[in-house]
Every structure is written in structure tokens, then in C-alpha cells.
Amino acid sequence: MGLVSRRLSWVRFNVFIDSHAHIQLSQFDQDRQAVIDRATLAKVETILVVGFDLETSQAAIRLAETGDQIYATVGIHPHEAKDCTSQTLEDIYQMAQHPKVVALGEMGLDYFRNLSPELVQKEVFEQQLDLAEQLNLPVVIHNREAFADILPILQNRCARTRGVLHCFSGNVEAMQQSIDAGFYIGIGGPVTYTKADDLRLVAQRMPADRFLIETDCPWLAPQFRRGKRNESAYVTAVAEKIAELRQTTAVEIGQVSSQNFRRLFL
Ligand code: NI
């Protein structure tokens, strides 16, 4: 009885959502269920498992089928844009019919690593935004050193496209422009990094109804685990840092961002 009621109270007080995780990857093959259980114990109620090519999108769906609190996205990352054919997009469209798929992505532009030519990245990004519009699904956007090109694309589609700029890395002005274009701001582990003063200012000033919290695990572990494998439970460290910046509690940040998550995706 004691054990059962304690478990129920955990469920009732679940407050955090990891809005961007890649726990379908092989880095979690040895202990995936333990990672999910640790998230639950840390009151991380829901995990959005994000695909970035056909294989990882399919794996995200398979994982989402195993738990009520796990959802999936399907999409083609800018790194993979060079291999994206019309058949790939048709496959994404078909996968997006699955009831646990709540968004397309991650998609976007990456001019830092430039693993696909810029023009190809743009074309595949626009094609996926078209798909999202047809499907009436929000999008998860990856940006690295490409905000100047991403912003006008989003502005052009302002009334028709909604979504999140995941792992936001811009300044306060870029944050405001993104929100004006109809987007949410995804805050991850980097907000805890020693040199991330710009990002901390964003976290301080962003409107309460327009941000999400995320891990991007296995990458971008918060400062106390920096360089090691990240996991969904550590989204609480992101909430704690934002709470400190906004002079409120981590629970409050969790509840507000979870509400935002549900408005955007569910
Ligand atoms: Ni990611």
C-alpha cells in the first residue's frame, strides 16, 4: 500500500517535460528503460523523442508506442538534406500519420558544420515546412549560425506555421523576432554553461507563455555533467537555472513550460 500510494503521488506531481530528446539512439541501448524510469522519478512526465532522418524517426515512433508519456517527431536534419529525395519526403509524410507523431522535425539550417550544401538545406527545409502545413503539424527547428536565413523563411509563413526553435542560441532581439513569427523558444543545457550570458538574458526576459525546456540528450549535458552523456532527467537542471534567473521555483517553471508544450504539440 505504502509503495503504491507513493508511486501514485509521484504521478500526480509530475511537472516537467523534456521537449527534445534522442533516447532512441544507440547511446541508450544498454539502459533505455532505466533512463526513462529515472526521468519519471525526477518528475519528468513526458518525453518528446525527436527524429532527424528516416531511421531515427522510425525508431522514435517505435519508442513512442511503448509508453503513454512518450511522443515522437519525424523529419530530416539539415546534415542529412543532401540524401533527401522525393521518396524520403513521401516516407516522412506517411510516418507523420501515426497518432503518436506530434510534429515534423528536426529540420532547419546548419551553416556551422555545413554537411549539406546551403541551397540543398534550404530546399529540404522549405519542403518539410510545406508538409507540416499540409498535415497541420507544428515543426521542431534546428538552427546553427543560420538565423539570418531561417527568420525570413518563418516570417513568410507566419500565420500558417508554428513550432519551436530548439536549443535556442540567439540574443534577446532574435528571441523577440522568433516569438513575433509565431514560434516558441526551446531552452536546453547551454543555459547552465559558464559563458552563456546572452542565453541567460533570453531566459530571463522570454514571455512565460512562449518557452519550452529540453535536454537534446545524449548531447548538451548541463554544466554539472558537461561532456558526459545527457539524459531526460537532467531537464530539471535547466528548469532550476531558469527559475533562478526569473526568481521563481523550478516546479513553477516546469508547470508553465509543460502547459506551453501541451498547447503547441498535444
Ligand atoms: Ni536534437
Find the 11 Cα to ligand 1 centroid distance in Å: 27
- 11 or 37, which is more confident: 37
Statement: residue 171 has pLDDT above 90: yes
Task: Using DSSP, state whether 206 is helix, strand or coil.
Answer: coil
What is the reported pLDDT for 13?
Answer: 55
How far apart, in whole angstroms, are the C-alpha atoms of residue 96 and residue 73? Answer: 8
CA of 217 to the centre of ligand 1 (A): 8
Instruction: Using the mean position of ligand 1's atoms as its centre, give its distance from the Cα of residue 14 in Å.
Output: 23
Quick one: which of 48, 73, 60, 64 has its CA closest to 128? 73
Average pLDDT over residues 52-81: 97
Ligand 1 center to 61 CA (angstroms): 16
Task: Supply the pLDDT for residue 138.
Answer: 98
- Cα-to-centroid distance, 78 and ligand 1 (Å): 11
Per DSSP, the three-state class of 215 is coil
pLDDT band at 174 (very low <50, low <70, confident <90, very high): very high
H or E element: which one contains 119? helix 118-135
Give 176-183 contacts, CB < 8 A, sequence gap 24+: 177/151, 178/151, 178/154, 179/206, 179/207, 179/210, 181/151, 181/154, 181/155, 182/154, 182/158, 183/141, 183/154, 183/210
224 CB-near residues (< 8 Å, 6+ apart): 192, 237
Summarize pLDDT for 199-240 with one digit per residue, the tens. Answer: 999 999 999 999 999 999 999 999 999 999 999 999 999 999
Q: Are 122 and 111 in contact (CB under 8 A)?
A: no
| Residue type for position 169 | S
Residue among 213, 199, 209, 139 at smallest CA distance from 179: 209
Question: For helices 86-95 and 54-64, what crossing angle results, to 10°?
Answer: 10
- Is the predicted pLDDT of residue 10 greater than 90, yes or no? no
Q: How far does the centroid of ligand 1 lie from the alpha carbon of residue 63, in Å?
A: 16
CA of 99 to the centre of ligand 1 (A): 21
Whether 9 shows a pLDDT value over 90: the answer reads no
The answer to whether residues 160 and 181 touch, using CB atoms and an 8 Å cutoff, is no
C-alpha of residue 20 to centroid of ligand 1, in Å: 6
Q: How far is CA 256 from CA 70, 167, 230, in A?
A: 19, 18, 23
| Cα 256 to ligand 1 centroid, rounded to whole Å | 22
**Nearest residue to 162 via CA among 135, 188, 144, 187:** 135
The arithmetic mean of pLDDT across residues 29-38, rounded, is: 97
Cα(7) to centroid(ligand 1), Å: 31
Q: Residue 46 forms beta bridges with which residues?
A: 17
Region 234-251: mean pLDDT is: 97
Q: Kindly give the distance from the C-alpha atom of residue 249 to the centroid of ligand 1, in angstroms, as a whole number.
A: 26
Per-residue pLDDT at 190 exceeds 50: yes
pLDDT at 55: 98
Q: From the CA of 162, how far away is ligand 1's center (Å)?
A: 18
Q: What separation in Å is there between the alpha carbon of 6 and the centre of ligand 1?
A: 34
- How far is ligand 1, taken at its centre, from the CA of residue 39, in Å? 18
pLDDT at 207: 98
Query: Measured in angstroms, how far is the CA atom of residue 230 from the centroid of ligand 1?
Result: 12
Whole-angstrom distance, CA of residue 125 vs CA of residue 266 = 23
Q: Is the pLDDT of residue 12 over 60?
A: no
Q: In terms of pLDDT, which residue wins out, 12 or 82?
A: 82
> What is the CATH code for 3-265?
3.20.20.140
Residue in 18, 44, 14, 55 with CA at minimum distance from that of residue 265: 18
Distance between CA atoms of 122 and 133, rounded to whole angstroms? 17
- Ligand 1 centroid–CA 184 distance in Å is 16
CA of 158 to the centre of ligand 1 (A): 23
CA-to-CA dists, residue 214 to 1, 91, 93, 226, 233, angstroms: 34, 27, 25, 15, 10
Per-residue cell: 246: 526569473
Is pTM, for the whole model, over 0.85? yes
Predicted pLDDT of residue 114:
87
Grid cell listed for 109: 539550417
- Mean pLDDT computed over 157-169: 94
Ligand 1 centroid–CA 19 distance in Å is 10
pLDDT value for 11: 47
